């Protein structure tokens, strides 16, 4: 399958390792991965901050960039949800390409849960809000993680509760955001995990920033990086 990677602006700029893991993983599964270089951003930040004009311009651009691919895959549940839920409303008639979040693509389209990964660490999984309540990917990431060899997967208490990121919410309502994140971090620490995993680096950046500030043991790792990791080539 010819898969276009929509890496997202945040991963492109701040978390290139997640993009590289996507490439490694999808190639290992036997697929051709393309990176349309005209891609930039889905417009979520502008949309969710109230700057509809800018968001619309980005939504109009998106289908032009990704036209002609079998599937568009992204390591961000939140950006996938923006494209799927909002682009048709922002740019009606522009034609939204088929965009899948990574775990949806693996489980639903490629019909695999065991991707041959190896990750010998204690991991807990945070189901991000947009993955749960916009994309409704349910337990797909957990099914993928359970099939990873060597992993010690532990439940996160109050997992479905928001971490308090919310894009510009973290700046506009920093106090509430920090209070929410403190509770999330306390739950992560209770698991004794070495790594906190999620399907979105923006939420991980938020939780990870608090974990780091607290000097906590757990680090953050994107789902793609665990799934890309193998015994021969560990991440």
Residue 194: partners with Cβ closer than 8 Å, 6 or more residues away: 121, 122, 123, 217, 218, 219
Closest contact distance (angstroms) between CB of 21 and other proteins is: 11
Q: Which is nearer to other proteins, 131 or 151 (CB)?
A: 131
Burial tier of 204 (Cβ tally within 10 Å: 0-12, 13-18, 19+):
buried
Asked if 19 touches other proteins (CB under 8 A), the answer is yes
- Of positions 48, 94, 154, 189, contacts other proteins by CB under 8 A: 48
Beta bridge partners of 123: 153, 195
Q: Which is nearer to other proteins, 89 or 149 (CB)?
A: 89
Asked if 172 touches other proteins (CB under 8 A), the answer is yes
Asked if 127 touches other proteins (CB under 8 A), the answer is no
Contact 199, 137 (CB under 8 A): yes
Asked if 45 touches other proteins (CB under 8 A), the answer is yes
- Of positions 3, 4, 6, 15, contacts other proteins by CB under 8 A: 15
Asked if 2 touches other proteins (CB under 8 A), the answer is no
How many residues touch other proteins under the rule CB under 8 A: the total is: 69
User: What are residue 88's phi and psi, to 5 degrees?
Assistant: -60, -30
Give residue 8's region: left, alpha or beta (phi > 0; psi -120 to 50): left
- Of positions 31, 209, 216, 230, contacts other proteins by CB under 8 A: 209
Q: Would you tell me how many other CB atoms lie within 10 Å of the CB of residue 106?
A: 26
Closest contact distance (angstroms) between CB of 148 and other proteins is: 22
Give CB contacts under 8 A, 24+ apart, made by 64-68: 64/38, 65/36, 65/38, 65/39, 66/4, 66/6, 66/36, 66/39, 66/97, 66/99, 67/95, 67/97
Q: Would you tell me how many other CB atoms lie within 10 Å of the CB of residue 21?
A: 24
Closest contact distance (angstroms) between CB of 146 and other proteins is: 25
Q: Which is nearer to other proteins, 115 or 151 (CB)?
A: 115
Rounded Cα distance, 115 and 64, in Å: 31
Asked if 132 touches other proteins (CB under 8 A), the answer is yes
Rounded Cα distance, 87 and 166, in Å: 19
User: What residues from 87 to 106 belong to the interface with other proteins (CB under 8 A)?
Assistant: none
Asked if 230 touches other proteins (CB under 8 A), the answer is no
User: What residues from 134 to 153 belong to the interface with other proteins (CB under 8 A)?
Assistant: 134
Residues that bind other proteins in the complex, under the rule CB under 8 A: 7, 9, 11-17, 19-20, 23-24, 33, 35, 37-41, 43, 45-54, 57-58, 61, 86, 129-130, 132-134, 160-162, 164-182, 205-206, 208-210, 212-213
């Amino acid at each position: 399958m010819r898969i276009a990677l929509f890496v997202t602006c945040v991963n492109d700029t701040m978390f290139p390792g997640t993009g590289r893991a996507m490439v490694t993983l999808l190639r290992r599964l036997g697929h051709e991965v393309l990176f349309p270089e005209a891609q930039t951003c889905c417009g979520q930040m502008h949309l969710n901050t109230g700057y509809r004009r800018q968001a619309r311009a980005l939504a109009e651009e998106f289908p032009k960039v990704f036209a002609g691919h079998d599937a568009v895959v992204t390591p961000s549940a939140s950006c996938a949800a923006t494209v799927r839920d909002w682009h048709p409303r922002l740019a009606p008639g522009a034609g939204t390409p088929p965009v899948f979040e990574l775990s949806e693509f693996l489980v639903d389209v490629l019909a695999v849960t065991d991707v041959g990964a190896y990750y010998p660490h204690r991991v807990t999984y945070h189901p991000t809000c947009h993955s749960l309540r916009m994309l409704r990917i349910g337990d797909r990431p957990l099914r993928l993680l359970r099939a990873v060899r060597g992993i010690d997967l532990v439940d996160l208490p109050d997992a479905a509760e928001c971490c308090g990121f919310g894009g510009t919410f973290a700046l506009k309502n920093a106090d509430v955001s920090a209070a929410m994140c403190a509770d999330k971090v306390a739950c992560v620490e209770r698991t004794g995990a070495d790594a906190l995993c999620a399907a979105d680096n923006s939420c991980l950046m938020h939780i990870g920033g608090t974990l780091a500030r607290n000097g906590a043991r757990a680090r953050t790792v994107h789902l793609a990086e665990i799934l890309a990791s193998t015994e021969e080539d560990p991440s």
